[in-house]
């Protein structure tokens, strides 16, 4: 890409135009976001549930706007793909929404989502949670404030209606969605806690608006990509699966470790060969010099040799590096990982 970093909001718009369906992976910090990027999702979702959970707090408007912003800002710093930030209710009224948009856009976030629930809100999937909505008019005011505050017109304001979550039915959801689109929303996020995608598809079938529809299929995970595409869904957000996977994995490891205090479970559960190197590669080295390919690495190796003589190459010789590369290839490592490993070696000099 000639080193030009495209604006994330522009990139997200471009992706929306080019692809039939964008797949957006949930993250809660830079490491999980990096994994979303490495696994080739189109964009990252920084969800309020996951970000609250890693602070051992409920998803109930406890953390402040600034705390959510800090997480998003560090994800943007670490990743090259666009980030969509879950901004809950916008942290207050229209003025708070306006300030939120200014801060998130300035941090390099590509889009924010705001929802029509009453502040403080509770998680949409919480059993017996309070899912009270604010009036359509009051939420429209928030969308207007958000649109007015953004600088780049490609910075998306995703309006999320919780009408289905609140049990108010498809008609109410549609009415709100039309009002939100009219106010300038760039996408409608239609959320559901139903175990099947039927009500979402009923909504999308009746939807005559023009902005793209976004869904979060946590409660109906069996839905296929084909079905989503066929039903006119343009963005699918896997909101909290990464959080649940890490919670599950850490817990399992710790349980086993406490029982056995042995190394075996580490190797089995943590994939010693691959995971350790991945972590070293990905997170140590992306901040070090970058190597585009082996050729440029060799060139640089030559450069060092010229500069520093043989001392540099006493410990790590080109032959050693070649054999390490052969091993990494045998382990099924992708070229990107191998290049990062080379960068890591460079750090060792």
Q: Give contact residues for ligand SPV (rule: CB under 6 A).
A: 47-50, 59, 86, 123-125, 216, 218, 239-240
Tell me whether residue 59 is one of the annotated catalytic residues.
Answer: yes
If the CB atoms of residues 243 and 285 are measured against Mg ion, the closer one turns out to be 243
Q: Beta partners for 25?
A: 44, 238
Q: Least distance (Å) from Mg ion to the CB of residue 162?
A: 10
Q: Which does 116 bind (CB under 5 to 8 A by kind): ligand SPV, Mg ion, none?
A: none
143/316 Cα distance (integer angstroms):
58
If the CB atoms of residues 97 and 321 are measured against ligand SPV, the closer one turns out to be 97
Q: Are 98 and 146 in contact (CB under 8 A)?
A: yes
Choose the binding region for Mg ion from 45-53, 66-74, 285-293, 299-307 (rule: CB under 5 A): 45-53
CB atoms inside a 10 Å sphere around CB 107: 18
Q: Are 125 and 116 in contact (CB under 8 A)?
A: no
Q: Least distance (Å) from ligand SPV to the CB of residue 61?
A: 11
Question: Which string of DSSP letters, residue by residue, matches 32-98?
Answer: HHHHHHHTT-SEEEE-HHHHHHTTT--SSS-S-HHHHHHHHHHHHHH-SS-EEEE-TT-SSSHHHHH
Site string for Mg ion, 79-98 (x = CB under 5 A): -------x------------
Question: Which string of DSSP letters, residue by residue, matches 132-161?
Answer: PBPPHHHHHHHHHHHHHH-SSTTSEEEEEE
Q: Which does 187 bind (CB under 5 to 8 A by kind): ligand SPV, Mg ion, none?
A: none
Tell me the residue nearest to ligand SPV as measured from the CB: 47
| Window 151-190: residues binding Mg ion (CB under 5 A) | none
121/129 Cα distance (integer angstroms):
9
Q: Which does 239 bind (CB under 5 to 8 A by kind): Mg ion, ligand SPV, none?
A: ligand SPV
Residue length, the chain? 349
48 is an interface residue for Mg ion by CB under 5 A = yes
Which of 42, 59, 186, 281 is catalytic? The answer is 59
Residues 6+ apart with CB under 8 A from 150: 101, 105, 157
Give the 3-state secondary structure of residue 243: helix
Q: Which does 38 bind (CB under 5 to 8 A by kind): ligand SPV, Mg ion, none?
A: none
Q: Are 183 and 157 in contact (CB under 8 A)?
A: no
Tell me the residue nearest to Mg ion as measured from the CB: 48
Q: Least distance (Å) from ligand SPV to the CB of residue 170?
A: 19
Q: Least distance (Å) from Mg ion to the CB of residue 51?
A: 9
Which residues contribute to the site for Mg ion (CB under 5 A)? 47-48, 86
Active site residues: 59
């Amino acid at each position: 890409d000639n080193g030009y970093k495209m604006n994330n909001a522009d990139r997200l718009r471009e992706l929306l135009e080019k692809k039939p369906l964008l797949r957006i992976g949930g993250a809660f910090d830079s490491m999980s976001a990096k994994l979303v990027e490495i696994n080739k999702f189109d964009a990252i979702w920084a969800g309020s549930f996951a970000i609250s959970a890693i602070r051992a707090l409920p998803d109930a408007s406890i953390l402040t706007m600034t705390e959510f912003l800090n997480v998003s800002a560090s994800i943007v710093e670490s990743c090259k793909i666009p980030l969509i930030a879950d901004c809950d209710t916008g942290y207050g009224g229209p003025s708070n929404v306006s300030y939120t948009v200014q801060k998130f856009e300035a941090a390099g976030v590509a889009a924010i989502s705001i929802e029509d629930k009453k502040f403080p809100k509770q998680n949409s999937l919480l059993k017996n949670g309070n899912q009270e909505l604010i009036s359509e008019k009051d939420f429209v005011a928030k969308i207007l404030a958000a649109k007015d505050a953004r600088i780049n017109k490609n910075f998306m304001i995703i309006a999320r209606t919780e009408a289905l979550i609140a049990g108010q039915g498809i008609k109410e959801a549609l009415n709100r969605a039309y009002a939100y689109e009219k106010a300038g929303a760039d996408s409608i996020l239609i959320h559901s806690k139903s175990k099947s995608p039927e009500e979402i598809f009923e909504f999308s079938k009746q939807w005559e608006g023009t902005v793209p529809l976004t869904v979060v299929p946590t409660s109906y995970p069996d839905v296929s990509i084909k079905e989503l595409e066929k039903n006119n869904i343009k963005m699918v957000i896997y909101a909290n699966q990464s959080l649940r996977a890490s919670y599950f994995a850490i817990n399992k490891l710790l349980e086993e470790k406490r029982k056995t205090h042995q190394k075996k479970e580490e190797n089995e559960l943590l994939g010693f060969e691959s995971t350790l190197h991945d972590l070293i590669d990905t997170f140590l080295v992306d901040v070090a010099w970058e190597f585009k390919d082996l050729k440029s690495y060799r060139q640089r190796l030559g450069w060092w040799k010229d500069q520093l003589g043989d001392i540099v190459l006493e410990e790590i010789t080109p032959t050693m590096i070649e054999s390490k590369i052969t091993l990494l290839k045998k382990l099924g490592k992708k070229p990107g990982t191998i290049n990062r490993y080379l960068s890591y070696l460079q750090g060792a000099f």
